[in-house]
């Protein structure tokens, strides 16, 4: 792990602990969360430097979190927080070395994921299912997203519940079976990640394991029950755009 | 699903596409392209705009043909629209023209122009409440057969009470969040535009002779009697188009077209602002132009140019002492004499009322966003941008705007601020001249920003960028507006008192800016204060 900058990982964990001491379920998402959930082998294979910290917290605890971050020397991005503070907060680390992005209850990017019921499920991070969705809901997947997805799939087995090294397939079924757009983006991205496996992994055994997990996941999503809304939207298909494209913010 | 992963073939519609490059996680902004267009159309506010234009011009310029006035004014207004489009694309920030002028021309001028415009917009919010209660509301009540005095002739105390309640309710809506406001505006947009379209269709299919029959049978007077009496009292709009009057009357077109620039104030919250600004500003202008020109043409066609001037003169102008009919001849009341089922007339008349509720959140949005921008730069207390723990929106800023609107309601209802509204066009014109000037010099003052401008703005003629030519046209157009307002005195109240009242906003802005600057200077922070304006604020 010496190749990695551990400072953000440690800082992320520290902030979650500080929040927990105040009774606030602050949960990591993004690359740092995936690293924390991963085993040593996955970390060695897919670990990377992490540019910033991403969190989710209850919207009702926004003030508590703001007070905590500001007490720790984090500088609020006032303009951004005033304009978008109902769903997002942005802070800069005391040395301005990185930024902290906070989602309040909802993760609203290419697709919208309601996370408020999932904050208390596990310590430190969101459950693996939601972490996977936050990566695979990205309409314009990049290399880092593929890498992070493979890291999660490397040592998370498809299961019917949450927990360490468990990927809650039932939860994925439920969300993707209710939202055709989300299902479509996730499916497309699983296909892309599948195609990228040989490029990202040199070891044939590891590649086979990852490919197999992707296949299992794809099969499960295809077989999962679909809602009436899903079926109706499916009739329209790709003729109508099914995702939104987040914009990069100039800071 | 097959056991072997051949995903693109298996998944619905296939996958495909390679990988992308992304620098940050990004943000999905709150306001959709439709919301942006809706804000613009609400700010232009066709029902109130056309009511004012058609209610005022026949009195002051009887020979003005507003159909032609709108046609002539539209290209000039388009130049002004392009100025706002240019800035909205190159600097999409909350506060719009405040940020642009302060970063391109001069911080005090930026504050002066934006403070003035904010005052104008909030005055419109207050004025429109009064207009609703005293003009379009009674008109709708007449058409609907409602005789309760709260609807037909509310006292000043009642108007103040209703305006205050409405102001507080809209403040509450803004506190709930910008999405809630956008949803409210979407619903009212639908109602108002259905009403306006029905109104247009009825005037289109109805004939003038049908109107005459309808009026003669139900108004309590006859068309010929109204025209004869107006003529007897000195009103005359016969003898063809008065071209000078038509040109001067463009001043009303400028006044009612203003609104498409509202995209600039909320640009930081609009999705894909580069593309959305095109559709909302230019699309908004085109829709406004079509509806204003088409609306005026249909009014002249259905009611008749001569009669419309005469009835306006009798009911709203010099003939009011002789007006005996139970309604004032504003457009909302005149819907009573449209063809078709009566309930449609009632619906259209109430759409004039609802339109004011439709517009109000747009006024609040511009006000709060401008306040944010001042606060971000240290020209207003930081507290204004504090996000409420309960609502997660900037409650203090919204409450400040609510209180200012309540004060303006009072000034409007009890102190006659509305009488000077047309003089406010002078200060508004000065602010827009400053914005136009900023756009004209932006290629030289901020070349890095200009480099990101759309191709049409960067295109050069004789070495000068197109935006400079466009901005100069816009600037000249607003000089014309000021000249007309002062030279012709079309509002009838150009005097020291009205001008002092109108210019109080820029004067307050100058005093405000100097006070902040002096406080900063005394605190040793004058340098950091001026440095703020060298940077483009974050989104």
Say whether B27 and A249 touch across the interface (CB within 8 A): yes
Say whether A219 and B1 touch across the interface (CB within 8 A): yes
- Any idea which of A230-239, B288-297, B521-530 has the lowest mean pLDDT? B521-530
- Please state, in angstroms and rounded to a whole number, the distance separating the CA atoms of residues A236 and B8: 19
User: A181 to chain B: nearest residue by CA?
Assistant: B12
The CA R_g of chain A, rounded to the nearest whole Å, is 18
**What integer pLDDT is reported at residue B21 of this predicted model?**
57
Say yes or no to pLDDT of B15 above 50: no
Q: How far is A152 from chain B (nearest CA, A)?
A: 19
Q: Which of A52, A77, A86, A242 has the highest number of chain B CBs within 10 A, making it the mutation to test binding with B?
A: A86
Q: Which two tokens stand for residue A79?
A: 């303009």
| Chain A contact for B535 (CB, 8 A cutoff) | no
Cβ-nearest to B27 among A104, A138, A247: A247
Tokens 């207009």 sit at which residue? B131
Say yes or no to pLDDT of B18 above 80: no
**What integer pLDDT is reported at residue B491 of this predicted model?**
54
- Please state, in angstroms and rounded to a whole number, the distance separating the CA atoms of residues A188 and B15: 4
Q: Which residues of B touch A63 (CB under 8 A)?
A: 389
What dihedral angle (degrees, nearest 10) is formed by the CA atoms of A173, A177, A181, A183? 40
Say yes or no to pLDDT of B9 above 60: no
**What integer pLDDT is reported at residue B25 of this predicted model?**
57
Say yes or no to pLDDT of A228 above 80: yes
Using an 8 Å Cβ cutoff, are A242 and A234 in contact?
no
**What integer pLDDT is reported at residue B374 of this predicted model?**
92
Say yes or no to pLDDT of A90 above 50: yes
List, for residues A34-57, the tens digit of each pLDDT value. 999 999 999 999 988 888 999 999
User: A82 to chain B: nearest residue by CA?
Assistant: B385
**What integer pLDDT is reported at residue B323 of this predicted model?**
93
Q: CB atoms < 10 A from the CB of B3, how many? A: 8
Q: Which option is the CATH number for B28-127+165-532: 3.30.310.80, 1.20.1740.10, 3.10.105.10, 3.40.50.2000?
A: 1.20.1740.10
Q: Which residues of A touch B394 (CB under 8 A)?
A: 82, 85
- Any idea which of B6-20, B146-160, B184-198, B464-478 has the lowest mean pLDDT? B6-20
Say yes or no to pLDDT of B484 above 90: no
Among A73-77, B28-32, B269-273, the range of highest mean pLDDT:
A73-77
DSSP H stretches of helix in chain A: 7-21, 30-37, 40-46, 62-71, 78-84, 128-136, 143-154, 169-178, 180-200, 204-223, 228-236
- Please state, in angstroms and rounded to a whole number, the distance separating the CA atoms of residues A11 and A17: 10
List, for residues B147-186, the tens digit of each pLDDT value. 999 899 999 999 999 999 999 999 999 999 888 999 999 9
- Any idea which of A90-99, A197-206, B232-241 has the lowest mean pLDDT? B232-241
Q: How far is B177 from chain A (nearest CA, A)?
A: 8
- Please state, in angstroms and rounded to a whole number, the distance separating the CA atoms of residues A50 and A37: 15
Q: In terms of pLDDT, which residue wins out, B500 or B224?
A: B224
For residue A78, what are the domain limits? 7-239
List, for residues B192-212, the tens digit of each pLDDT value. 999 999 999 999 999 999 999
- Please state, in angstroms and rounded to a whole number, the distance separating the CA atoms of residues B374 and B376: 6
| Chain A contact for B103 (CB, 8 A cutoff) | no
Give the 3-state secondary structure of residue A108: strand
Residue A36 within a domain: yes
Q: What angle do CA B200, B206, B209 make, to 5 degrees?
A: 140
The number of domains in chain A is 1
pLDDT-derived band at B134 (thresholds 50, 70, 90) equals very high
- Any idea which of A70-74, A203-207, B138-142, B238-242 has the lowest mean pLDDT? B238-242
**What integer pLDDT is reported at residue A59 of this predicted model?**
92
Using an 8 Å Cβ cutoff, are B289 and B40 in contact?
no
**What integer pLDDT is reported at residue B11 of this predicted model?**
40
Say whether B387 and A79 touch across the interface (CB within 8 A): no
Mean pLDDT of B326-353: 96
User: B21 to chain A: nearest residue by CA?
Assistant: A142
Say whether A191 and B394 touch across the interface (CB within 8 A): no
- Any idea which of A45-59, A73-87, B82-96, B279-293 has the lowest mean pLDDT? A73-87
| Chain A contact for B7 (CB, 8 A cutoff) | yes
The dihedrals phi and psi of A204, each to the nearest 5 degrees, come to: -65, -35
pLDDT-derived band at B519 (thresholds 50, 70, 90) equals confident
User: A224 to chain B: nearest residue by CA?
Assistant: B1
List, for residues B50-85, the tens digit of each pLDDT value. 998 998 888 888 888 989 999 999 999 999 999 999
Say whether B20 and A188 touch across the interface (CB within 8 A): no
Distances (CA, A) of B342 to B199, B203, B298: 12, 14, 19
Say yes or no to pLDDT of B420 above 90: no
Residue A194 within a domain: yes
pLDDT-derived band at A216 (thresholds 50, 70, 90) equals very high
Q: Which residues of B touch A189 (CB under 8 A)?
A: 15
Say yes or no to pLDDT of B422 above 80: no
Instruction: Give B278-292 as a DSSP string.
Output: IIIIIHHHHHHHHHH
Note the Cα A225 to chain centre separation in Å: 24
Cβ-nearest to B538 among A85, A146, A251: A251
| Among B88, B173, B224, CA closest to B360 | B173
Q: How far is A93 from chain B (nearest CA, A)?
A: 16
Q: Which residues of A touch B393 (CB under 8 A)?
A: 85-86
Residue A245 within a domain: no
- Please state, in angstroms and rounded to a whole number, the distance separating the CA atoms of residues B282 and B297: 22
Cβ-nearest to A187 among B4, B15, B392: B15
Using an 8 Å Cβ cutoff, are A16 and A26 in contact?
yes
**What integer pLDDT is reported at residue B5 of this predicted model?**
34
**What integer pLDDT is reported at residue A148 of this predicted model?**
94
Using an 8 Å Cβ cutoff, are A192 and B17 in contact?
yes
* Cα separation of the two ends of chain A: 31
Interface A-B, measured as beta-carbon pairs within 8 A, has a size of 145
Domain map of chain B by residue range?
28-127+165-532
- Please state, in angstroms and rounded to a whole number, the distance separating the CA atoms of residues B443 and B99: 16
Say yes or no to pLDDT of B4 above 60: no
| Chain A contact for B30 (CB, 8 A cutoff) | yes
**What integer pLDDT is reported at residue B315 of this predicted model?**
94
Element (H, E) at B199: helix B178-205
| Among A141, A86, A151, CA closest to A111 | A141
Mean pLDDT of A79-97: 86
Q: What percent of chain B has pLDDT over 90?
A: 65
- Please state, in angstroms and rounded to a whole number, the distance separating the CA atoms of residues B407 and B537: 31
To the nearest whole number, what is the mean pLDDT of chain B?
88
**What integer pLDDT is reported at residue B393 of this predicted model?**
82
| Chain A contact for B28 (CB, 8 A cutoff) | yes
| Chain A contact for B448 (CB, 8 A cutoff) | no
To the nearest whole number, what is the mean pLDDT of chain A?
92
Say whether B25 and A215 touch across the interface (CB within 8 A): no
List, for residues B245-266, the tens digit of each pLDDT value. 899 989 889 988 988 888 888 8
Mean pLDDT of A215-232: 96
């Amino acid at each position: 792990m010496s190749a990695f900058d551990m400072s953000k990982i440690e800082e992320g964990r520290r902030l979650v602990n500080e929040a927990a001491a105040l009774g606030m379920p602050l949960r990591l998402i993004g690359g740092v969360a995936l690293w924390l959930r991963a085993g040593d082998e996955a970390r060695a294979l897919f670990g990377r430097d992490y540019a910033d910290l991403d969190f989710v917290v209850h919207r009702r605890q926004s003030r508590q979190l703001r007070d905590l971050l500001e007490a720790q020397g984090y500088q609020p991005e006032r303009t951004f927080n005033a304009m978008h503070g109902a769903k997002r907060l942005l802070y800069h680390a005391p040395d301005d070395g990185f930024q902290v992005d906070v989602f309040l209850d909802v993760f609203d990017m290419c697709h919208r994921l309601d996370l408020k019921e999932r904050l208390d499920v596990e310590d430190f991070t969101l459950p693996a299912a939601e972490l996977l969705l936050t990566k695979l809901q990205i309409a314009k997947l990049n290399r880092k997203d593929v890498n992070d997805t493979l890291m999660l799939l490397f040592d998370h087995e498809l299961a019917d519940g949450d927990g360490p090294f468990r990927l809650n397939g039932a939860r994925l079924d439920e969300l993707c079976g209710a939202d055709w757009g989300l299902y479509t983006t996730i499916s497309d991205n699983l296909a892309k990640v599948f195609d990228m496996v040989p490029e990202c992994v040199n070891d044939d055994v590891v590649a086979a394991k990852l490919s197999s997990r992707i296949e299992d996941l794809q099969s499960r999503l295809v077989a999962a029950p679909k809602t009436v809304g899903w079926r109706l939207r499916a009739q329209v298909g790709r003729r109508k755009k099914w995702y939104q494209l987040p914009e990069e913010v100039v800071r | 699903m097959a056991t072997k992963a051949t995903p693109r073939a298996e998944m619905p519609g296939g996958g495909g596409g390679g990988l992308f490059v992304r620098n940050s996680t990004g943000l999905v902004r709150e306001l959709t392209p439709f919301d942006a267009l809706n804000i613009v159309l609400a700010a232009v506010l066709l029902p109130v705009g056309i009511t004012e234009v058609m209610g005022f011009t026949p009195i002051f310029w009887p020979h003005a043909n507003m159909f032609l006035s709108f046609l002539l004014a539209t290209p000039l207004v388009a130049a002004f629209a392009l100025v706002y489009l240019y800035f909205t694309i190159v600097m999409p920030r909350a506060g719009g023209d405040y940020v642009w002028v302060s970063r391109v021309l001069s911080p005090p001028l930026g504050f002066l122009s934006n403070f003035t415009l904010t005052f104008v917009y909030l005055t419109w919010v207050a004025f429109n409440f009064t207009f609703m209660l005293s003009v379009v509301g009674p008109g709708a009540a007449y058409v609907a057969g409602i005789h309760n005095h709260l609807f037909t002739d509310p006292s000043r105390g009642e108007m103040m009470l209703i305006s205050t309640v409405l102001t507080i309710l809209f403040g509450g809506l803004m506190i709930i969040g910008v999405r809630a406001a956008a949803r409210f505006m979407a619903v009212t947009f639908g109602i108002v535009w259905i009403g306006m379209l029905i109104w247009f269709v009825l005037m289109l299919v109805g004939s003038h002779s049908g109107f005459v029959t309808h009026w003669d049978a139900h108004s309590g007077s006859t068309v010929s009697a109204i025209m004869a009496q107006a003529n007897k009292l000195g009103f005359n709009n016969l003898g063809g188009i008065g071209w000078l009057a038509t040109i001067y009357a463009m001043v009303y077109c400028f006044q009612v077209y203003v609104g498409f620039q509202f995209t600039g104030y909320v640009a930081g919250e609009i999705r894909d602002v580069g593309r959305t600004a095109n559709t909302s500003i230019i699309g908004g202008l085109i829709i406004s132009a079509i509806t204003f020109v088409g609306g005026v043409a249909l009014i002249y066609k259905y009611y008749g140019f001569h009669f419309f001037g005469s009835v306006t003169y009798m009911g709203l102008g010099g003939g009011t002492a002789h007006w005996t009919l139970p309604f004032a001849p504003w457009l909302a009341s005149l819907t009573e004499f449209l063809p078709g089922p009566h309930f449609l007339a009632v619906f259209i008349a109430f759409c004039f009322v609802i339109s004011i509720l439709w517009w109000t959140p747009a006024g609040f949005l511009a006000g709060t966003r401008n306040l944010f921008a001042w606060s971000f730069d240290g020209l207003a207390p930081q507290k204004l941008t504090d996000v409420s723990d309960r609502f997660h929106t900037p409650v203090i800023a919204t409450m400040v705007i609510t209180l200012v609107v309540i004060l303006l309601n009072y000034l409007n209802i009890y102190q006659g601020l509305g009488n000077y509204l047309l003089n406010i066009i002078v200060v508004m014109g000065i602010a827009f001249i400053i914005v136009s000037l900023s756009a004209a010099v932006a290629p030289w003052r901020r070349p890095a920003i200009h480099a990101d401008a759309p191709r049409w703005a960067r295109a050069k003629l004789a070495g000068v960028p197109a935006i400079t030519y466009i901005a100069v046209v816009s600037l000249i157009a607003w000089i014309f507006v000021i000249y007309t307002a002062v030279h012709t005195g079309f509002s009838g109240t150009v005097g020291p008192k009205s001008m002092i009242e109108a210019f109080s906003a820029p004067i307050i802005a100058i005093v405000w800016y100097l006070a902040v600057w002096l406080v900063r200077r005394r605190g040793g922070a004058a340098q950091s204060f001026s440095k703020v304006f060298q940077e483009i604020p974050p989104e």
